[in-house]
Each structure stands twice: as C-alpha cells, then as structure tokens.
C-alpha cells in the first residue's frame, strides 16, 4: 500500500480535514441551516489553538435544525461512526459520522459541553459572534476569536481532570498563540456570562484576572453533564460512568464493541492515527497496547481515560 492507500487515491488527513470542513459548512448552509465550523483548522487560523493535525471535523449547527442536518448528511452518504449503545450515550452533545471517501470523521454538534445555557439560546449568542475565515481557499463561517477561545478553552478543560483545571486555565491564557486585543478581551468577558459559562470557565477567567457571573440560568441537564466531567476527569471516564449507571449489563459488551472494531472502522481509525493499515487484528492489538500504556500512566499520574485508551 502506498501513502495514498490501496487505490492510490485516498486523501491524507491534512487534506481531508480542511476540505471536509469547508464542504460540510457550505453544504449545510446551502440547505438553509445555520452552521459554524469549530475547532480544527479554523481555530488554528484564528490563533486560539496551536497548530496541530485534527483527526476530525467539528460543525456546530442550529439545534432546531439538528435533525435535518443529520438527515441531510445521511442522505449524502455519511453514517454513524459507531452504532448502538456507544452512540446512544456519546451522542449527548454531538453525533460522530463517517463516510467511506473521507479519512476524517465529522462531529455534528447541537451544543458544546461547558456552555450551560439552554442550547438554542446559546447557539443564537454564538451565531452573533460569527466571522469568516479562509479554509481550503474558500470562506468558511466560524466563531470570532473571543467566542472561539471560549469553545477551545472548554474543550481543553473537559479533556482533563478537575485537579489540573487551574493549571490548564493558566496555560490556555499564557499560550494563546496571539494575545487578545483589549476589544477582544472585552468581547470575551461579555460573551461568557451570556453563555452561562462563567462557572465552567472559572480557571480561565481567574488567569485573566476577571470576575464575572452568568447572566442566565444554567440548563440543569448540561450542568450535570459538565459536573460529571469534573468528577470523573475526562469525557471518556464520564462516559464510562454514564454507561455503567444507565445500562450496567451492557457495559462490558460496549467496551468490547469499541475495542473490536469492524473492518471499515479499523481502517478509519488507522488512517486517523496516521499509521499504515495492517488489518483489524493489528488495530485491535495496537488499541489494547495503548490502553495498557494508559493504565500505566494512570498508576503514575491519575485516572485512565478512554480517550487515551483509544488514541494513545
């Protein structure tokens, strides 16, 4: 197999992600759906994230059009990355979709974890903070820098345990690739309480020397979800906990389902990891090996995370 896969025509991840992000936003907006590219290449371009290769594309859509957006993507050949229990539980804030022609997956969000305002109102606030950036030589709608930094910060915090949130808040501020202008900082400070994110972004606000309180009530369901992240360390651990509580008997089966991927999912995983595909067994063994490494890390540093387990 060459670098372009068996057919010699496969896109590399650094080609697929920007192309797919440009296509997905244009496609959904073309259908009259308000859609925002988040994370990935657009956040690198906005300089709220340090350059790194994304494995997937994230699109946040108007919650009232979420089902229509999902159905349009299904009609365009996208399908659930993993079906069944894993999908049921992980679809709390987004759906992960895959397409045979794309090396990357597509995360379709109806809200973003840590934004605790009721999703429709929160989206309306974010839509008011949109801007355009050029991705793959085409204009793509995303968030402006202050709002993008909110999403980027929440994304970083939820991937870590509460014990290191304070340090992560400081890191996010000090390592912001391009420091905020006074206007951007004001916009950030104004936007946080409107999204009911003052509590979840407290480590970042503290690093900025800012005190603020949310102007709107927190959505209790979203607050519980975030508190689960805080309690269990990561989305992966929180997810495991959620599964255990909701359907304990199926937990082991679900873990095996995630570990023993099908042929296509195995190929996608290998592609997303940037490694040559040598078959399902090889992928499974690699995932087990990484899981054991995560366990070793747990013994020395803290909790194991499913995210570490799957992605190393």
- Which residues make Cβ contacts (< 8 Å) with residue 191, sequence separation at least 6? 125, 129, 146, 147, 150
Helix/strand/coil (H/E/C) assignment for every residue in the chain: CECCECCCCCCCHHHHHHHHHHHHHHHHHHCCCCEEEECHHHHHHCCCCCCCCCCEEEEEECHHHHHHHHHHHHHCCCEECCCCHHHHHHCCCEEEEECCCCCCEEEEECCCCCCCCCHHHHHHHHHCCEEEEEECCEEEEEECHHHHHHHHHHHHHHCCCHHHHHHHHHHHHHCCCCCCCHHHHHHHHHHHHHCCCCCCCHHHHHHHCCCCCCCCCCCHHHHHHHHHHHHHCCHHHHHHHHHHHHCHHHHHHHHHHHHCCCHHHHHHHHHHHCCCCCCHHHHHHHHHHHHHHHHHHHHHCCCCCHHHHHHC
User: x/- string (CB under 8 A) for another protein, residues 53-72?
Assistant: -------------------x
- Cα–Cα dist 10/31, whole Å: 28
Select the residue interacting with another protein from 1, 18, 233, 281 (CB under 8 A).
18
Smallest gap from residue 70 Cβ to another protein (A): 13
Of the two residues 136 and 189, which places its CB atom closer to another protein in the complex? 136
Stretch of 133-141, 151-159, 167-175, 268-276 contacting another protein, by CB under 8 A: 133-141
Q: Which of 3, 174, 220, 300 binds another protein (CB under 8 A)?
A: 3
Residues 159 and 133: their CA atoms lie apart, in Å, by: 26
Print the binding letters for residues 289-308 with another protein: x by CB under 8 A, - otherwise. Answer: --------------------
Site residues (CB under 8 A) for another protein, limited to 69-128: 72, 75-77, 100-102
Q: Tell whether residue 36 is a contact of another protein (CB under 8 A).
A: no
CB of 136: closest distance to another protein in angstroms?
4
Cα angle, residue 192 at apex, residues 191 and 193 outer, rounded to 5°: 95
Q: Which of 22, 122, 150, 191 binds another protein (CB under 8 A)?
A: 22
Distance CA 134, CA 142 (A): 10
Nearer to another protein, 149 or 269 (CB): 269
Which residue lies nearer to another protein by CB, 108 or 195? 108
Q: Cβ 137 to another protein, closest distance in Å?
A: 6
Specify the residue, 15 or 132, whose C-beta has the smaller distance to another protein: 15
| Contact between 27 and another protein per CB under 8 A | yes
* Residue number, 76 or 295, with CB nearest to another protein: 76
Residue from the set 1, 7, 45, 312 that interacts with another protein by CB under 8 A: 7
Task: Name the one range near another protein by CB under 8 A: 12-20, 183-191, 219-227, 232-240.
Answer: 12-20
* Nearer Cβ to another protein (22/157): 22
| Using rule CB under 8 A, residue 1 touches another protein | no
The reply on whether position 48 binds another protein by CB under 8 A is: no
| Under rule CB under 8 A, residue 15 binds another protein | yes
Q: Residues in the site for another protein, rule: CB under 8 A?
A: 3-4, 7-12, 14-16, 18-20, 22-23, 26-27, 30-31, 72, 75-77, 100-102, 135-138
């Amino acid at each position: 197999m060459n670098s372009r896969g068996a057919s010699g025509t496969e896109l590399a991840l650094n080609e697929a992600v920007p192309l797919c992000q440009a296509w997905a936003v244009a496609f959904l907006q073309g259908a009259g759906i308000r859609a925002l590219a988040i994370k990935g290449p657009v956040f690198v371009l906005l300089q709220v994230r340090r350059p790194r290769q994304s494995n997937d594309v994230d699109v946040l859509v108007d919650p009232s059009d979420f089902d229509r957006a999902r159905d349009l993507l299904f009609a365009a050949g996208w399908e659930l990355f993993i079906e069944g229990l894993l999908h049921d539980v992980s679809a709390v804030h987004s759906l992960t979709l895959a397409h045979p022609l794309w090396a990357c997956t597509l995360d379709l969000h109806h809200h973003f974890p840590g934004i605790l305002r009721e999703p429709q109102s929160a989206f309306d606030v974010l839509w008011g903070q949109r801007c355009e950036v050029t991705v793959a030589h085409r204009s793509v709608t995303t968030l402006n820098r202050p709002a993008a930094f909110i999403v980027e910060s929440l994304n970083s915090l939820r991937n870590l345990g509460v014990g290191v949130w304070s340090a992560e808040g400081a890191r996010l501020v000090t390592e912001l690739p391009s420091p905020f202008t006074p206007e951007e900082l004001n916009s950030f400070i104004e936007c946080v309480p409107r999204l009911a994110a003052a509590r979840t972004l407290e480590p970042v606000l503290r690093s900025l020397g800012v005190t603020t309180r949310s102007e709107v009530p927190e959505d209790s369901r979203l607050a519980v979800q975030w508190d689960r992240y805080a309690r269990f360390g990561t989305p992966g651990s929180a997810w495991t906990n959620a599964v255990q509580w909701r359907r304990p008997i199926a937990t082991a089966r679900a873990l095996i389902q995630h570990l023993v991927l099908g042929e296509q999912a195995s190929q996608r995983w290998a592609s997303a990891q940037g490694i040559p595909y040598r078959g399902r067994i090889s992928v499974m063994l690699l995932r087990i090996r990484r899981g054991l490494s995560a366990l070793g890390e747990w013994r020395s540093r803290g909790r194991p995370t499913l995210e570490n387990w799957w992605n190393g």
